[in-house]
Chain A
């Protein structure tokens, strides 16, 4: 599917009409997007902070409860992000900042899957105060760095429309 067809598809939905016709929809969705990103980043800070050793005595098993919260927050941002995209798809699809943002979200997603399927089990047995394995630390650091870049890119979208 080329960009024009994709843009037409985004514009064909009812959400597009809401976003264009109701002046308060865009700020409302932006607010959700910001709240969602704080919740997402905050819950990641708990999990990644524990693995990295900043909060060494955070119980690892309990810290994992923040993962569903992160997923819920991501869902808020997926939905609110979709509404921006439907409002003016051509402004986003061809935008280099947006393209990199989506690409890095995919990388962060793969990183999260690696964490869940590769490290989760072993980490849950980690005693309070004990160091996490090096591999897990790499994943956690990568997660924090990726999400910082994703947030930065998101904020830069209005300025990367070359």
Chain B
């Protein structure tokens, strides 16, 4: 695994992100825009399911998922590029591991929330609260990656 991480880190992407003057800031800024988009859409949907702005039908709100997916794609790409900056370090940081786990779980839960809404199930709010929390963990741990380097 270490070999793989180092190979990626020392490859073209890693070199670009560490050495190009504007490369890192621009990819970092894209990552922030993608974050705002994904989290924005996910949280607004969770809030609606939790009972905020009840007059909006949830199926009309899920049209925003297109925008959310665009943000997710942007962050997947920018995240993979940023990861090359020091892949062998990030990979072992618990903040990074938790961030990745929270994002995957948050995404799966979003799907569960929508399924539960369509089935008119009783666990809608519980799932929405859990989903919103996962995304919160994703942001917090992402920010902490810069500070908690263990």
Q: Which residues of A contact B (CB under 8 A)?
A: 27, 30-31, 34-35, 37-46, 49, 54-59, 61-63, 65-66, 69, 128, 147-148, 151-152, 154-156, 158-159
Contact = CB atoms under 8 A, between A and B. Distances in A.
B43 A155 contact: no
Contact of A57 (B29, B33, B53, B57): B57
A58 B44 contact: no
B110 interface: no
B144 A46 contact: no
A57 B63 contact: yes
Contact of A152 (B33, B43, B60): B33
A37 B55 CA distance: 25
Interface stretch (B6-14, B100-108, B114-122, B135-143): B135-143
Interface in B64-86: 64, 66-67
Interface in B6-35: 22, 25, 28-33, 35
Contacts of B67: 45, 49, 54
Given A34-B143, A35-B139, A42-B41, A55 B64 contact: yes
Interface string B119-150: 00000000000000000100110111011000
Prevailing SS type, chain B contact patch: helix
B52 interface: yes
Q: Please indicate which of the listed interface residues A35, A38, A44, A63 has the most CB atoms of chain B within 10 Å of its own CB.
A: A38
B139 A38 contact: yes
Interface of B: 22, 25, 28-33, 35-37, 39-44, 47, 52-57, 59-61, 63-64, 66-67, 136, 139-140, 142-144, 146-147
A27 B145 CA distance: 10
A57 B62 CA distance: 10
B46 to A, nearest CB: 10
A27 B143 CA distance: 7
Contacts of B22: 159
A156 B25 contact: yes
Nearest to B148: A27
Contacts of B53: 62-63, 65-66
Q: Please indicate which of the listed interface residues B33, B36, B140 has the most CB atoms of chain A within 10 Å of its own CB.
A: B36
B36 A155 contact: no
A34 B139 contact: yes
